[in-house]
Amino acid sequence: MRRHLQIFAILLSAILLSSCKDSRNEALRYAGDNRSELEKVLDHYKDDPEKLAAAMFLIENMPEHYSYRSDSIHSYYEIAKEILKSDLSPKEQSDSLLRICDTRFPNLDHDTISDIKVIKADFLIRNIDQAFEQWKTRPWASHLTFDEFCEWLLPYKAVEKQEMDEWRDSLSTIFTWGLNNMVHDDDTYETTINAANTIRSEINWRVRPFGIWDRKGYPMLSAATLPHITFGACMDYVTLAVLTFRSVGIPAVIDETPYWGRYRAGHNWYTILNNRGEELTSEWDVSSYPGSAFFTDKRIPKVYRNTYAINPERLEYREKSAYKHPFKICQKDITDQYFRTSDLDITLLDSIRVVEPYAYIATFTAIGSDWSVVDYGTVHSGKAHFTKMGRNVLYIALGYDGEQLRPISLPFILHTDGSIDYIKCNPKKKRSVDIRRKYYQSNNVAKMRKRLLHGMIQASNRADFADADTLYTIEDLNLPDKLPIHADKPYRYWRYLSPNGSFGSIAELAFFSADSAEVKGMPIGSTDDQAAILRAFDQDWLSNFETGGGDGNWVGMDMGRPTEIGYVRIVPRGDDNDIHPGDTYLLRYWNERNEWTSCGTKTATGNVLHYDNIPEGALMWVSDLTRGMDERAFLIDKDGNVVWW
């Protein structure tokens, strides 16, 4: 058997030497003054065909991998290490590092150099030897083929700009107590999933990840800082997980979507290759168990895998395209490995001429403008061809006219059954539109809103509400901004009594006179938690009055004397994407000229925006110019219901 493996390795090396000679020589030429370092590596493995093939794989793909050029990054990491070990809270650490980045290390992130020009032979040789040691000795890695080993375990880095240091030594020392002390049973011990989950649990326990998704300074990509990242976004902790996995021989990669199908941002997660040859994905970062259900409720246009190998198709695109969209060169499309996809031939408009044989497919994100590119395709005979597109998503095709990307198709919906509906408004037929939200209602928001059903507005002249009169009962979730109250006398005590089982959940409560002037008193409630009571009156629709449980929960006001109330505002617990009185909104629709038309701005006087003269069938988009970021395009169906995309 060993003899057969040796023959295979020699044949593999011969094939690679023959087929990849040009790319290897090109990489060596590109290395410039650093060529001698790479030749040392090749010479070192000249009598070991398998490791020589691995070294060649790394070198041939190395020109497209980058590191920081300036030594200033080392100074930054030294400062970061001290801050990460300090007693500051994760948020305070993040703020401190962001200030330091902006003041002492501006533009460092843009000063990069190809690894092939700076990598050292000793580092690369040690990395290759360590990776082979894990592959050959760890039971949870022994199932890998050579090609799988090259992508899932061998690379000396998992992300660009990662420090070329001894991360395998560091991470495999810090996070392996559990791995080294696993029970040697006959059932789970040798499985990849067991090893990965053991490591994942230890990272969670030692690091205690704290999510921060806004700007937070340069990422922690050195062996000295990675184990101490007390704050970060998904990508930060996914990187830590993948590098730690690889340091102990667990095959892992990073997958991503550039944008969700109904959200402005994208997402990254890790995937492991288990000993049965199955790819087990996480949903989030180290907080997620690999192999559990993957975002069953999310619409996803594209899934890409970050690879070490260069994608030749993307390299060709970069060389030949007139418009240079910044697609990652070391990335491949694996959308069809996650769910059912469609290959599309999209009819193009005659009015736009493109200057290259490429088209771009984009989803609606409302980032800066409207559409964000997720992939490219080819143009031929009046059609744009795209492959492996995720379904149940709103798309549009874009083309480059020599100056900018412009829409070259109508917006269209790719449905779950693979059918396509092009969206075209009818400017000759107009309708009125009432809008209650600017963003689709998630399952959680809908459940919180439902907690209002059968809630009551009550009033009394006794503080214990023993003789309370019920003046309004909520039976419809499409509430007006101000509920009309018809009381035949004034009352001192007013409250919202939540239905049993609802925990009292509301975001805001306010009382108004008959002429709509706000009436204020002393906040009161069924709980001793004064902070919870005050959250019902703080005018923040993202803070909530809620109790720990039980029935009979209520919150209200002592007006100090009997007071006439004409209206009551109750805001359900939610995401603050309902139409907010006092905020200024802009409504647009996609017109027959294939562009957005403004319907003007309106300041909301209630929780419904009303517009007239909107073309039937139009794609619409409402923005809150006062606050918030969440926005989605939508249609109105034949029954007048909003359909979010």
Q: What is the pLDDT of residues 56-105, one digit of tens each?
A: 999 999 999 999 999 999 999 999 999 999 999 999 999 999 999 999 99
**Residue segments in the chain with a per-residue pLDDT below the cut of 50:** 1-14, 16-17, 19
Rounded CA-CA distance 15/28 in Å is 19
- Coil, helix or strand at residue 645: coil
* Statement to judge: residues 411 and 343 lie in one domain: yes
* Statement to judge: residues 140 and 260 lie in one domain: yes
* Statement to judge: residues 447 and 369 lie in one domain: no
Whole-number pLDDT of residue 454: 97
29 lies in some domain? no
* Statement to judge: residues 230 and 339 lie in one domain: no
164 lies in some domain? yes
Q: What is the domain extent for residue 228? A: 65-298
Of 396, 329, 398, the residue nearest 358 (C-alpha): 398
pLDDT digits (tens, 9 = 90+) for 375-413: 999 999 999 999 999 999 999 999 999 999 999 999 999
Whole-number pLDDT of residue 16: 47
* Statement to judge: residues 342 and 408 lie in one domain: yes
28 lies in some domain? no
Whole-number pLDDT of residue 599: 94
* Statement to judge: residues 223 and 80 lie in one domain: yes
Name the percent of the chain in helix, strand, coil, to the closest 5. 30, 25, 45
pLDDT digits (tens, 9 = 90+) for 185-221: 989 999 999 999 999 999 999 999 898 888 888 999 9
For the record, the structure tokens of 233 come out as 């976004």
Rounded CA-CA distance 34/133 in Å is 27
For the record, the structure tokens of 604 come out as 């909301």
Last residue of a domain, one of 524, 541, 571: 571
Cα angle 234, 309, 361; round to 5: 65
Rounded CA-CA distance 302/280 in Å is 18
* Statement to judge: residues 115 and 250 lie in one domain: yes
540 lies in some domain? yes
* Statement to judge: residues 405 and 530 lie in one domain: no
Whole-number pLDDT of residue 7: 47
CATH, residue 601? 2.60.40.10
Alpha helices (H) in 47-120, listed in sequence order: 49-61, 72-84, 90-104
Number of domains in the chain: 4
Whole-number pLDDT of residue 20: 55
Whole-number pLDDT of residue 215: 84
* Statement to judge: residues 433 and 390 lie in one domain: no
